[in-house]
Amino acid sequence: MSDITTITEDDLIDSISDALQYISYYHPLDYITALGEAYEAEQGPAAKDAIAQILTNSRMCAEGHRPICQDTGIVNVMFKWGQNCHLDSQRPLQDVVDEGVRRAYNHPENKLRASILADPAFTRRNTRDNTPSVVSVEMVPGNTVEIDVAAKGGGSENKSKFKMMNPSDNIVEWVLEQLPSMGAGWCPPGMLGIGIGGTAEHCMKLAKQSLMDPIDMGQLKARGPQSDIEKLRIDIFDAVNAMGIGAQGLGGLSTVLDVKILDWPCHAAGKPVAMIPNCAATRHAHFTLDGSGPSYLPAPDLDAWPKVNWQPDAAAKRVDLDHLTPEIVNSWEDGDRLLLSGKMLTGRDAAHKRIKEMLDKGEELPVDFRGRAIYYVGPVDPVMGEVVGPAGPTTATRMDVFTETMLDLGLLAMIGKAERGHDAVEVIARYKVAYLMATGGAAYLVSRAIKESKVVAFEDLGMEAIYEFTVQDMPVTVAVDARGNNVHTLAPAKWRKKIAEEGLLEPYLA
């Protein structure tokens, strides 16, 4: 029998903490390279602008060591534990891992947002340190411990799909059926991870694990598929991009940068299939412990980042939020790019829920919403003199149920990420207001437009409190105008037709 390798508690904690800090501000280089290639190929102006924001934000975060996205994710830690390795600890593995998470998320120089809630069905209390994490362990031969660490944002995780298929069902067709219901809340362009087989829970795990593999679709297409799984990857990749959804759902050529698939034998009576998207804030890293000490990931070469420096569109309309009127809002058209300056309010799920409860009880609200714009955001805490930490938009559809209530209070504009639901669009048109979309995956870039920040209500809700931001030239796109024209419906349809008629993807399908 080989000698036993001892993995100390401190080495595991330090390695996990370092990896989580690392992935909070460094994109994987394979993602950045693929996104840079998508930027060069993109022909959709709105999509190209969104990709430019994501790339610029990525470079800023890599240089400033601040989070790529304000949603710093739920932590997933996947072990391949060598059977000759011993963990020198009196605590359960879950507790040791969570201590690494706790240290990473409370790091004084780069504090990450705590998003994990205990008692999920009822009181939904924030645990304040982003624990517990989700841990999985596979025992394998050997004297090392291999670890994948990922931080999965809620916007993409919420779009996970699963089906117990019949054996004869077509997987490509099922994927294409799911994409419209996923909308753009998963912040494309990203990846699709697909699991096939096993049992229901194992199939979902396969889909998540597949997202840890590096992007290699370009290389795969160049050499051609050598297995049925590789051919299926290409078929799904081509079919999804032909839908014209594009970056942030704004219509364009790049919806996915890669499709990953892992499979496992399953029962003869079925064919479990799971799909989990990875967003523009792709965050994962791999390291190995061999008993010699902690693993610290090396800093990447910043020269590998594409030379993209987003600047506000000269044709964008400048908007003074302090003098916003229904007439100004009515002048906007879907797809218009705006630069917002002045004071806006913030609020998301918990704040909207509390407002509704107060109104139902006949209580007076602490904030006047008349003539205002509200930004759906839960920012990261500021550090080192910042006004606010990374403050990108959250998925707007979660606020759809509160839309009419809020518009009754006199709101003129809402700002969030991705599309609105059909009913919310009808309400927006009826009230003749607008929904504006900020780019998901550009949280640090957006935060630079925020010049002042103060809590004005519900301080006990933490990052979900109502803030008042003073912004200067904050970039947004009119996603739903006052007539109900919806860019997330109109633009993909236009680009789907354009791709089909003009063969725009043919150079990338070879």
205 and 255 assigned to the same domain:
yes
Q: Do 264 and 357 have their domain in common?
A: no
Let me know whether 265 and 304 are in one domain.
no
C-alpha span between 204 and 458 (Å, rounded) = 37
Do 77 and 182 lie in one domain? The reply is no
User: Are residues 197 and 227 located together in one domain of the fold?
Assistant: yes
Q: 332 with 446, same domain?
A: yes
Q: Where are the beta strands (DSSP E) in 330-465?
A: 337-346, 373-375, 413-416, 434-437, 450-457
Q: Supply the pLDDT for residue 506.
A: 66
Q: Which two tokens stand for residue 367?
A: 């904030």
**Which one, of 136, 264, 260, lies nearest residue 198 by Cα?**
264
Q: Which residues pair with 293 in a beta bridge?
A: none
**Domain CATH number, residue 370:** 3.20.130.10
488 and 345 share one domain: yes
Residue with tokens 């979660």: 398
Which DSSP state fits 34? H
**Both 127 and 102 in a single domain?**
yes
Crossing angle for the helix pair 9-25 and 45-64, to the nearest 10 degrees: 140
Q: Is 504 inside a domain boundary?
A: no
Residue 23 structural domain: 1-153+284-290+299-311
pLDDT tens for each residue of the chain, 510 residues long: 468 999 999 999 999 999 999 999 999 999 999 999 999 999 999 999 999 999 999 999 999 999 999 999 999 999 999 999 999 999 999 999 999 999 999 999 999 999 999 999 999 999 999 999 999 999 999 999 999 999 999 999 999 999 999 999 999 999 999 999 898 999 999 999 999 999 999 999 999 999 999 999 999 999 999 999 999 999 999 999 999 999 999 999 999 999 999 999 999 999 999 999 999 999 999 999 999 999 999 999 999 999 999 998 888 999 999 999 999 999 999 999 999 999 999 999 999 999 999 999 999 999 999 999 999 999 999 988 899 999 999 999 999 999 999 999 999 999 999 999 999 999 999 999 999 999 998 999 999 999 999 999 999 998 899 999 999 999 999 999 999 999 999 999 999 999 999 887 865 544
SS3 37: helix
For residue 507, the model assigns a pLDDT of 54
**Domain contains 409:** yes
Hey, CA dihedral for 37, 437, 477, 347, is it positive or negative?
negative
Number of domains in the chain: 3
How far is residue 280's CA from residue 23's CA, in Å, rounded to a whole number?
13
Query: Widest CA span of the chain, in angstroms?
Result: 79
Residue 301 contacts residue 62 (beta carbons within 8 Å): no
Residues 270 and 350 occupy one common structural domain: no
pLDDT at 493: 95
What is the pairing mode between strands 134-140 and 74-82?
parallel
Same domain membership, residue 373 and residue 357: yes
